[in-house]
Amino acid sequence: MRRFKADLFRTLSHHTRVMIVEYLQYGEKTLERLCEKTGLDKATLLQHLTVLSNNYIVQIRKDGNETYYSLRDPLLNKVLEAMRDFFLSHITDALQLLRAEQKAEEEQRTEQNTSGSSPPSSGL
């Protein structure tokens, strides 16, 4: 099971493949439509779709001359949502720390300005 999870995350470790999967969340797409949405050329897109297909994330359906790509299992949407939530919860923490540091620096500057002292010289 751990190997399966590691392989899944390894496959999704490239931002382009994540972008492709995010577009496929909304349903089946042709290669041309995916090229339009992603801005990738066909050769590059096909390389990433092959990796996704070989790792059972994307499935391929042919209908005449058209080839359609879709997510093999919509449960992957929940994985991506969980990853997004994880990111957002940690970015919120990081932003709160930065804001607290910024506020402390501003208070220190204000205190220095009102006490008439100047910041230490850098000697330059």
Give the alpha-carbon dihedral of 109, 111, 114, 120, to 10 degrees: -60
* Arithmetic mean of pLDDT, 83-112: 85
**Per-residue model confidence as pLDDT tens digits over 20-54:** 999 999 999 999 999 999 999 999 999 999 999 99
Domain 2-72 bears CATH identifier 3.40.50.10860:
no
pLDDT value of position 120: 56
Domain ranges of the chain: 2-72, 74-113
What φ, ψ does residue 113 adopt, rounded to 5°? Answer: -70, -40
pLDDT at 117 over 70: no
The pLDDT confidence band at residue 118, using thresholds 50, 70 and 90, is: low
Residue labelled with tokens 């932003």 = 95
pLDDT value of position 17: 94
* 122 DSSP assignment: -
